[in-house]
């Protein structure tokens, strides 16, 4: 399987336990890390998570999720096993997203984990591409998202555990018990998937060699896979001054890997 991590090529960065504990205590990340290691599925740190750990040796203080990447073909081939092996309680796997797998801890004790799917481009260039959806103002998309969230909570039986208050909440909990969980899961998938028909998107592309021979960083004893030549990868995405913190960053506009920025000019 392509994209194996090379034990011989490591980028070693030290950090104190305080820095790494912020990631090691993220239950959602540690659970998906366990599953991917058991299934021998290659993945890598990406986006702000990679930036924080390579540049600062810790997660970015203002980053509220954990970003990973993997080959789309690997996810399609192992989707059922990933879902079956993920055992963390009070966790919701958002399997309806066409561009990534997201894991949310509903008890609020762990950051969301987003695993982006990269696809090899056909023809010349040997690029790895991913689609990136970003917030829009479409009311139908917002409504479908709310339907998906409610249906997902209903399918998992989480509405009562979250203890929402008010009359409307009690009515919704009652409705959730009328239909079986498989029907709620189906509705969640359909509504969640359909929202992306109405959301704007851009395309990102990077040379695929960044993901073919993964390297590693070791932080507080935890060995983590990163793109080959992570510094060059970060410079491509965040600019030559990537080591300098930025006050503002809009991921669907400022990322240097976006190849169709002209689509944003009218926004």
Average pLDDT over residues 90-115: 90
pLDDT number for residue 20: 39
CA 257 – CA 170 distance, rounded (Å)? 46
User: Looking at 112-116, 182-186, 194-198, 220-224, which range is the least confident one?
Assistant: 220-224
pLDDT at 124: 55
DSSP sequence for 160-178: TTT---SHHHHHHHHHHTT
Q: What angle do CA 52, 251, 34 make, to 5 degrees?
A: 50
* Top-confidence residue, 222 or 212: 212
Whether the pLDDT of residue 17 is over 50: the answer is no
Write the pLDDT tens digit of every residue in 235-264: 999 999 999 998 888 888 899 999 876 554
Split at pLDDT 50, 70, 90, the class of 62 is: confident
Give the model confidence (pLDDT) of 173-216 as tens digits.
888 888 999 999 999 999 999 999 999 999 999 999 999 999 99
Longest dimension (CA), the chain: 60
- pLDDT at residue 54 greater than cutoff 70: yes
| Residue 267 pLDDT class (50, 70, 90 cuts) | very low
Going by C-alpha positions, the residue among 231, 207, 209, 206 that lies closest to residue 11 is 231
For the domain covering 5-120+204-264, report its CATH number. 3.30.460
For residues 55 and 242, the answer to whether their CB atoms sit within 8 Å is yes
- CB–CB of 35/85 below 8 Å? yes
Distance CA 57, CA 218 (A): 10
Cβ neighbours of residue 88 closer than 8 Å, sequence gap 6 or more: 27, 28, 31, 105
Inter-residue contact 227 to 187 (CB < 8 Å) = no
Q: Is it the case that residue 46 has pLDDT exceeding 80?
A: yes
- Per-residue pLDDT for 130 more than 50? yes
pLDDT(168) > 90: no
Domain with CATH 3.30.460 in the chain: 5-120+204-264
């Amino acid at each position: 399987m392509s994209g194996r991590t090379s034990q011989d090529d490591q980028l070693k960065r030290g950090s104190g336990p305080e820095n790494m504990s912020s990631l090691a205590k993220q239950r959602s990340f540690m659970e998906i890390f366990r599953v991917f290691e058991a299934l021998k599925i290659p993945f890598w740190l990406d986006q702000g998570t990679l930036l924080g750990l390579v540049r600062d040796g810790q997660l970015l203080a203002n980053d509220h999720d954990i970003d990973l990447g993997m080959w789309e073909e690997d996810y399609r081939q192992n989707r059922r096993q990933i879902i079956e092996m993920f055992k963390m309680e009070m966790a919701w796997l958002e399997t309806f997203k066409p561009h990534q797998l997201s894991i949310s801890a509903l008890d609020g004790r762990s950051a969301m984990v987003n695993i982006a799917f990269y696809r090899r481009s056909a023809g010349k260039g040997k690029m790895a591409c991913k689609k990136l959806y970003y917030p829009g103002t479409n009311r139908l998309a917002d409504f479908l998202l709310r339907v998906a969230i409610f249906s997902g909570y209903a399918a998992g039986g989480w509405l009562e555990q979250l203890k929402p208050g008010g009359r409307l909440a009690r009515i919704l909990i009652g409705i959730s018990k009328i239909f079986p969980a498989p029907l709620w899961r189906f509705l969640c998938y359909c509504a969640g998937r359909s929202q992306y028909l109405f959301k704007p998107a851009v395309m990102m592309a990077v040379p695929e060699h960044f993901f073919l021979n993964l390297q590693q960083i070791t932080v507080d004893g935890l060995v983590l896979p990163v793109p080959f030549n992570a510094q060059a990868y970060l410079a491509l995405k965040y600019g030559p001054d990537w080591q300098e913190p930025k006050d503002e960053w809009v991921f669907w506009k400022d990322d240097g890997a976006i190849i169709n920025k002209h689509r944003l000019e009218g926004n």
